[in-house]
Amino acid sequence: MQVGIVSYGSYVPKNRKKVDEKFRSKLMVEQRSVASSDEDAATIAVAAAQNALSKTNLCEKKIGAVYIGSESHPYAVKPTSTIVADALNLDSDFMTADVEFACKGGTAAIQICYGFLKARMVEYGLAIGSDVAQAEPGDVLEQTAAAGGAAFILGVDEDEIIATIDETISITSNTPDFWRRNLQKYPEHTNRFTGEPSYFKHTICASKKIMEKTGFCPKDFSYVVFHQPNGKFPLIAAKRLGFTKEQVEPSLMVKKIGNCYSASSLLGLCSVLDVAQAGEKILLVSYGSGSGSDAFVLTKRVLTKTGVKK
């Protein structure tokens, strides 16, 4: 049974703040999105999900699983997912929970829904990555910390699927490069762990493992999407793996909106799905501090079912 993306939607707050000039070339980020005072991870998730639903005639009450990845959930004890489900007018018989794994919570949510669909436990699943990124004032992270969300409706009807999920794997380790303890307002990070033993190790290892498992190599993919803490890291990872700049550039939303944490790689995927043609393959590899990467191989398809909006 083939599981795939039936629809997707995104939401990024309209406010922008320019990155300080001394950091622009170093980070390869021009500006970042800023949430308004009445916006948080829940409202952003709702907007992204509504945009996904607006592209299809799917009845929202058929969604049987809702999982939201974020590291800025509005409540420490109160699910964001129930707020979102209520706003979307879902029935009460759905499975749900909030997911937290730093910046890969959104892709973890996709994997959960993927598993439920493979097990035939639900008809449709809704996976969302949404964040209002946190950074201590004056910290270099503040230059890229942004707000945004991306939502994906997953299903198994071949006539509805616009992109198949052909394979997914994960790489995980206890590498403490970034953390925020309970009641701590801002996260901390260890600069020396951020790059090589964290982002690059997990991203590159997950990419190699899924290509080995599927038998694909870099030239088989039209697009590659990585987590985007800045504009440089994805390009470095791509080069080390043998991908070209042209394969990764269409996904680099970070340059214009900053690092949206759990939504970062997913917003990159939305950008790629907007331009990918039928038959083209996409490699998606997220990264979450703490640390781990989720990797996916997807294939874009033509939407054919009558009555479903293109």
> Could you give the angle at which helices 232-241 and 201-214 cross, rounded to 10 degrees?
40
* Choice among 71, 189, 202, 260 that is catalytic: 71
Average pLDDT, rounded, for the chain: 94
At 90 the pLDDT is 95
Instruction: Give the whole-angstrom CA distance, residue 302 versus residue 221.
Output: 17
Range from 53-67, 114-128, 184-198 carrying the lowest mean pLDDT: 184-198
Provide, rounded to the nearest whole percent, the portion of the chain with pLDDT above 70: 96
* Choice among 73, 189, 202, 227 that is catalytic: 227
Residue 71 known to be catalytic: yes
Residue 142 known to be catalytic: no
At 193 the pLDDT is 65
Sign of the torsion formed by the C-alpha atoms of 157, 212, 209 and 27:
negative
At 306 the pLDDT is 41
Q: Once rounded to an integer, what is the mean pLDDT over residues 129-144?
A: 92
At 115 the pLDDT is 98
Q: Once rounded to an integer, what is the mean pLDDT over residues 47-64?
A: 97
**Between these two residues, 84 and 141, which has the higher pLDDT value?**
84
* Choice among 103, 113, 260, 270 that is catalytic: 103
> Residue 308: pLDDT above 50?
no
**Do the strands 124-132 and 63-69 form a parallel or antiparallel pair, or are they unpaired?**
parallel
Residue 270 known to be catalytic: no
> Residue 304: pLDDT above 80?
no
> Residue 11: pLDDT above 60?
yes
Instruction: Give the whole-angstrom CA distance, residue 42 versus residue 79.
Output: 9
pLDDT (tens digit per residue) in 96-115: 999 999 999 999 999 999 99
At 194 the pLDDT is 77
Domains contained in the chain, CATH given:
4-155 (3.40.47.10), 163-300 (3.40.47.10)
The answer for residues whose C-beta is within 8 angstroms of residue 51's C-beta and 6 or more apart is 9, 10, 11, 151
Length reported for the chain: 310
At 302 the pLDDT is 77
Question: Other CB atoms closer than 10 Å to residue 209's CB: what's the count?
Answer: 15
Are the C-beta atoms of 276 and 283 separated by less than 8 Å?
no
**Geometric angle at alpha carbon 307, from 304 and 308, rounded to 5°:** 60
pLDDT (tens digit per residue) in 137-192: 988 889 999 999 999 999 999 999 999 999 999 999 999 888 788 888 888 777 66
Q: What pTM does this model have? A: 0.95
At 196 the pLDDT is 84
